[in-house]
Structure 1
């Protein structure tokens, strides 16, 4: 009787698989499905992209992409919001947005869903910082807090009227309360 062992998939093999809905991520040789976004998650994600892009898209400073696959450093992750400085977007020869981003975003934003493990999500932010991201936000809608990550610094827990750091080239002022205030849509 012989035991059959299956070797883990490589990143290259994972990237050849068909995309799933919701997306799956490739972390440490494992395929990990992301949970389907629910109401609060979807609202925060949409508003963050819209508010950031309103400030940065026209002057070609940056762009906020929702659910963009980023493959680098042996992982393939799908941040809830991935913000890239305009000059780092790997446009195609005909100046279109490419399908594949093989680099970390300048600013990564993750919104915790009830089914997710916080440390796994924070691990993705730390991976981004390790490979060159300049800012990470971790939103916890149940706690109404945002954990902010900057390279080579301790994370900072922000709440209430605390101002949120953004990339220095992005002219945007937001407090934690403003971000979570977007969840109130009636009235």
Structure 2
């Protein structure tokens, strides 16, 4: 959904950031506000389980940290990817060593998860924007199609859909053999 700025002028990024937060979150680029789609079951489950799985691998070794619905504001745009992963050394921290509330930087890995009726164009646009600003890896997860499209700098996107396909992860995470089958297996609630 597009929310129009006041008719008298184009909204600036600074003006947008002063507005109250919305649910679902709103994003800003090219002088316009776009409200994200409300996540539904499959989206929500993948988002929470996958974030936890990343953090189980990355946090104990202080390699990286995954966040859900974290606003990232950089290069004139303010976006809220479904999952962002930041290398440990890049996480903004204050004088007390605690994480900051504001992330004025691009993520190292950005992950978008499609919800029913959500159009992928804006999600892909945000992934490409991140890649053009320093992000190392982008994923577009489509639970309905059981497909993950992989985006990497200076490469053509690759669609992975075979159950045994191993998904590329942030290089700092090392050899983490996560497959398509495992990722979409988190959706199963088979009753015995």
TM bucket (normalised to shorter chain) is over 0.9
Question: Which residue of structure 2 aligns with residue 153 of structure 1?
Answer: 155
- Aligned CA-pair RMSD: 1.2
Q: Does 1:177 align with 2:178?
A: no
- 1:68 has 2:67 as partner: no
Partner of 2:86, secondary structure, is strand
**1:168 aligns to 2:165 (yes or no):** no
TM-score (norm 1): 0.95
Alignment equivalent of 1:91, drawn from 90, 93, 103: 93
- Greater shift in the superposed pair: 160-169 or 132-141: 160-169
Deviation at 1:178, TM superposition (A): 0.9
Map of 1:131 onto structure 2: 133
Aligned-partner Cα distance in 2 for 1:150–1:103: 18
> 1:103-144 CA distances to partner (integer Å, 9 max, x unpaired)?
110000000112322111100000000000000000011111
CA distance in 2, matches of 1:116, 1:159: 20
> Could you say which residue in structure 1 is the equivalent of 2:112?
110
Q: Segments of 4+ in structure 1 off by > 4 A? A: none
Structure 2 partner of 1:24: 26
Gaps of 5+ in 2: 1-5
Deviations, residues 84-120 of structure 1 (Å, cap 9, x unaligned):
0000001111111111001110000000112322111
How far the C-alpha of 1:186 sits from its partner, in A, is 3.2
Query: Cα gap change, 1:169/1:5 in structure 2, threshold over 3 Å: closer, same or farther?
Result: closer
- Count residues with an aligned counterpart: 184
- State the TM-score, normalized to the length of structure 2: 0.93
CA distance in 1: counterparts of 2:131 and 2:44, whole angstroms: 24
1:177 deviates by: 1.4
